[in-house]
Amino acid sequence: MYIYCEPEEKTLEVITVNLHTELIEKLYQCNLCHLCNEGNLGPTAFNGSMASPIAIVGEGPGETEDQFGVPLIGNSGKLLDKALWSVGITRDRVYTTNIIKCRPKGNRTPTVDEGSFCATRWLDNELAAVKPRIIIALGSVALKYLLNANARITKDRGKWFQTKYGIPAIATYHPAFLLRLTGKELVKAKWETFYDLQAAANRCTEIEPDYLLKSAAPLDLLALYSANKGKQRGISESNVRKENANGNELSHSL
Ligand code: SF4
């Protein structure tokens, strides 16, 4: 289950929603790389508004995200919600998704190759359907995919860059990284994140001044998606995986 704001009765938007719905249904069946064999419940999709000018692109699902089937919903998601609220954004007014759709075992950080493999198959098509006006990249994996493999989050965050989609993007720290910091490092990184998100909110308002970025209250995403908790998504475990993240043939069954 995923949520989006219903579009107005405009043909183009209805077509977009249909294309996107079809895409997500196919995503749930994906078994193209070894990550579907790492003990998760299946691919996670997205949450928020498809009509939003802002797409937030995170890294990949953690344990809570895998349990509920949507990105950035656990402790990292709660911190993201607070940071967005401080710059006048709520999660229901943005589109949130990840580079990698299936949770790597033990919450390990996905490799750049794994990110590229999944994102070229799903994220690229997703963003082509949603057509956001700006992208916020969260953390190193998203930055490296959207800018280039040599980009570094500490050096390149807070700077606008052009993506291959022709959509401008700005990167900031992933909230999971902030959760690992303490003391002065944490204070500094939190302020930097605030300024990065504020820059994104300001640019969005310049581009689409009539779009409302903030609802009256933040969403409780865990409550909203509670019915999803623990449910297997998509393919059954007997399916054969055909390729790994490097495109090599795999022919084993589970
Ligand atoms: S390509 Fe993406 S969605 Fe498909 S199995 Fe790999 S990580 Fe999951």
Interval between CA 33 and ligand 1 midpoint (Å): 5
| Mean pLDDT over the full length of the chain | 88
Model confidence at 17, pLDDT cuts 50, 70, 90, reads confident
Structure confidence at residue 200 as a pLDDT band (50, 70, 90): very high
Specify the residue with its C-alpha closest to ligand 1, atom 1.
Answer: 118
* Alpha-carbon span 81 to 233, nearest angstrom: 25
Mean pLDDT of 84-104: 97
Architecture label for domain 11-225: 3-Layer(aba) Sandwich (3.40)
Q: How far apart are CA 194 and CA 207, in angstroms?
A: 20
Residue of the CA atom closest to atom 7 of ligand 1:
102
* pLDDT digits 0-9 by tens, 159-171: 999 999 999 999 9
pLDDT for the residue numbered 7: 46
Global confidence as pTM:
0.88
Tokens of 69: 């089937």
Residue 164 to residue 149: CA distance in whole angstroms: 13
The residues facing 243 across adjacent strands are 249
Average pLDDT on 133-142 reads 97
